[in-house]
Structure 1
């Protein structure tokens, strides 16, 4: 078989969302050489491209803009800095440690880079992955698919919808439904409180007039041809009822797009299901880094972008001869936390992006007392002002790890 043409950038960034584009911008500005971004979509920008509401850019740009405007801004930044962006380009596999096969408008190619940044993001689990029984009608979406259809393809949806989940992204789905002329009739959450911030939930209920049913799950989808209703169950009483609707939107329940990391043999974290990384965002494969919601499914777009800014400095260090450090202390999340990111602490390494560890909780705790333990000894106990709540990232100051020993056992982070 004829060998495909070879492209040899200094840095290959896989994924053109906020993390990937910001990493490319910083790398180009820092003089990394040829920085190439590949993205499978028609246009770079990631999820914000079709999230047509405001709220983007606060942490990274110090301004607020709509999702599409934010995406266009990130693309312009990367291009003006000198990065090359190739869209409609799919990475199909690995041909070496830092060599990938791609397929795009020009056919098959190989890319061999000195460094690779994985920024493939995360996606919502669809209905099939959640194992929701019932009929298989039309009108069942995830938020991403809904927004893609409404804002990019200007397709109609239904007239009356049930939203599964009450996370911040669930309210984004409600805004999109309203824009499409569809009434969000009900939002359901399995938790005792809606997962999104109280202010957002209150505003959504008042402005969008969407009732929220807590401690509730969907048990069946009903409808032949088009969705006609869903059956829901209250988790405490077991009482079931049917809600008429022609549209169902499954929101949240994020999983990283980790296929490339997995097929590369990169070590994955069992909690996040994304690559296991240290605070410099190195993966287990030398010269391969990761950033954004591939690592913490899922945080806001601006936090993902700041990951990209952070990782750029450490990619530069690798390009300038910095090796792959060995060892390190594992960081582990104890219940009620599901995961912590990053997961490896090494002597001499930097603080993680924004000086925060990111955790995901399965329980609501209004006044969380965070504990850090190593070898059965409590190193730190601190009460944090913000509640720990399902459906959104819980941030812990990196300074809580100040007493960790580099030669002792794993570090456990939990709640008292």
Structure 2
């Protein structure tokens, strides 16, 4: 990545209240879970309206390396169950990029196969936590070599199956550790029983999403307090339709609040497990009017944005956009419960405090979040640390701050390759 001004995107300013409508692509979280479950199914699955982005292409590539091939269709992909990887090479390589779902959801599938599989990716993925998941997989019968790093690169030696059974798991750093074992559990000889230790996982909605999707593919999932049980099962789901990504919709919803205008997000589901749906309950507290009808969500911003105290533990991925909105509030705000964001694509708390403060806002890190004191803002370069959510936060900030230059906007291709063009159309 270079740092020339030619590589920066001038975030467009909303000179008048917005009056616009938008469609966002499919949910990354749902898309990649659907692909993994399809790879474990007993027959092909047609995944319709999936997200097409770097992370989802990396997932399809990883599954292909593990023997589950896919074919592109008119509105998605037909994913075939995993086959054999033997005879192809002494070692199969899975390219992770900086995709947390790929790094965490696919090692268990490699343990089910019959090849040595090397997992590696971008420098950033080597800094993201995965050690507790590898420890749990070893206890369930997997052989994994990582030279004690607890991070990529590591090699999973397939033995044709995995015993499974009961295991303790510390999923406090990421709910994806728990989801990874739950998703693969139906393919283990004994299924899997997971007892959570070390504190509650963040992002309960993502856990609910995993459980719901497992059941839709035919698995039996039992949950009691801090214990989950998935029995061995023959999975099947001939067709799966992916919902729009509500976390990706967050900056567009925020645009209505910041501009004092109206934005409709087409296709917003009336019932969903996506954490992005939490925005609906938050918006009235930020002075906005919200209506959900058969065509989607309509948000109209108010005359002012109140300060707020928000615990975002369950919806941490919304923090960058919400922090940008709160820079325009009438009073101080606090975001808490999101210490785990230090282990995301970048240390999001440090990045947000640094970049928002560099443009004039009073933003300081706390032990588990941010303290935001509104102040006059000015233009300048907003560094994005190869993090798609920071590009979206910078775009929201630029609606009311002339001269915001967003570094490396192409990094948003992780979840929404057409974000910049769609945002330009929104602002007009």
TM-score with structure 2 setting the length: 0.26
- Which structure has greater strand proportion? 1
Larger proportion of helix: 2
